[in-house]
Amino acid sequence: MASLDTRPEAADDPDDGWFPESVAARYDGDDGPFAPSVVEATVDVLADLAGDGDALELAVGTGRVALPLARRGVRVHGIELSRAMAARIESKPGGDLVGVTIGDMTSTRVAGEFSLVYLVFNTIDNLTTQDAQVTCFVNAAAHLRPGGCFVVETVVPPLRRLPPGQDTVPFTVEPHDDGGRLGFDRFDVVTQRYTSNHVRVAGGRGSFWSIPFRYAWPAELDLMARIAGMRLRDRWADWDGSRFTQESTKHVSIWQRPHDPLPGMRVGE
Ligand SMILES: C[S@@+](CC[C@H](N)C(=O)[O-])C[C@H]1O[C@@H](n2cnc3c(N)ncnc32)[C@H](O)[C@@H]1O
């Protein structure tokens, strides 16, 4: 029988939120969102949108996207809550090309005007209240030059997989010879909050990690963009520009700060 350890690692700094040193140390990978083909497709779109302007990544993490975008010749700056995550950027090729401001993406302002602000890999959901998500849209818009774009990549909430009376959806069950990995999301449809829960067992020792999120439907995000003075320009099912349909499990949405403010609206105050 494995023992289960749910304590934070001793080296972790609470100011780093849900991505402290112990998470940062094993964050980077080779597949899924780290696969070169995925990163390249992402960077193709972002470089095109940035054009000859600067780009700002909210929640830049370890530079998975910011670094290859900077190596394409786009000037990229990042905002990031976790020093442990941001510290990884410096040690990677081109690390000196990406400046990082440590702070909260809902309130941290950086100098300059950007043609592109982006927030990828479901990270809008890391803000666990509607107010925080709205404030993030307002902060993004405040950094954009007129005509600039805010891009969000995130999941479509998988609530169609929840039959009445059920609140939990498994996303992985991976047995191994000496243990395995289980992952499941648990939803509260009243608050739109959910937790992503990970159990890992190896060598007779188990660990449990649970991280809180808040989901929002694409239409709710459109309203947040409107509150921030932006309007929807495109919504795709993925970075390849494929059509967003009712079967889509994620979306890449692009809102634009108009050259002239929308009637009765002021951008990013
Ligand atoms: C899933 S990672 C994504 C990192 C990177 N954007 C990527 O695509 O690999 C989520 C990141 O969001 C950061 N984060 C979470 N809440 C934040 C906030 N309120 N302000 C700034 N960064 C935040 C975390 O520290 C973490 O680095």
Token output for 191: 């608050």
- Closest of 237, 238, 228, 231 to residue 254, by C-alpha: 231
Collapsed DSSP state (helix, strand, coil) of residue 87: helix
Residues 6+ apart with CB under 8 A from 176: 202
Token output for 237: 């099912």
Phi, psi dihedral angles at 87 (to 5 degrees): -60, -25
What is the rounded CA–CA span in Å between residue 50 and residue 47?
5
Tens of pLDDT along 140-189? 999 999 999 999 999 999 999 999 999 999 999 999 888 999 999 999 99
Tens of pLDDT along 13-24? 999 999 999 999
Tell which atom from ligand 1 comes closest to the C-alpha of 59. Answer: 22
Token output for 225: 């963009």
Tens of pLDDT along 90-123? 999 999 999 999 999 999 999 999 999 999 999 9
Mean pLDDT along residues 242-266:
90
Ligand 1 center–CA 229 separation, angstroms: 24
What is the rounded CA–CA span in Å between residue 91 and residue 94?
9
Residue to mutate, 104, 126, 211, 214, ligand 1, most ligand atoms under 8 Å from C-beta:
126
Predicted TM-score (pTM) of this structure: 0.93
Do 212 and 129 form a contact (C-beta atoms < 8 A)? no
Ligand 1 center–CA 264 separation, angstroms: 33
Over 70: is that where the pLDDT of 266 sits? no
Ligand 1 pocket list (CB less than 6 A) = 17, 19, 59-61, 64-65, 79-82, 85, 104-106, 120-121, 123, 126-127
Strand partners, 197: 184, 210
Ligand 1 center–CA 241 separation, angstroms: 24
Question: What CATH number matches the domain at 14-156+215-256, 3.30.420.40, 3.40.50.150, 3.40.640.10, 3.40.50.970?
Answer: 3.40.50.150
Strand partners, 173: 182
For the chain, the structural domain boundaries read: 14-156+215-256, 159-213
Q: What is the dihedral of CA 89, 91, 95, 98, to 10 degrees?
A: 30
CATH 1.10.760 given to domain 159-213: no
Ligand 1 center–CA 136 separation, angstroms: 13
Residue to mutate, 81, 124, 128, ligand 1, most ligand atoms under 8 Å from C-beta:
81
What is the rounded CA–CA span in Å between residue 18 and residue 196?
12
Over 70: is that where the pLDDT of 10 sits? no
Using H for helix, E for strand and C for coil, what is the string for 14-66? Answer: HHHCCCCHHHHCCCCCCCHHHCHHHHHHHHHHHHHHHCCCCEEEECCCCCCCH
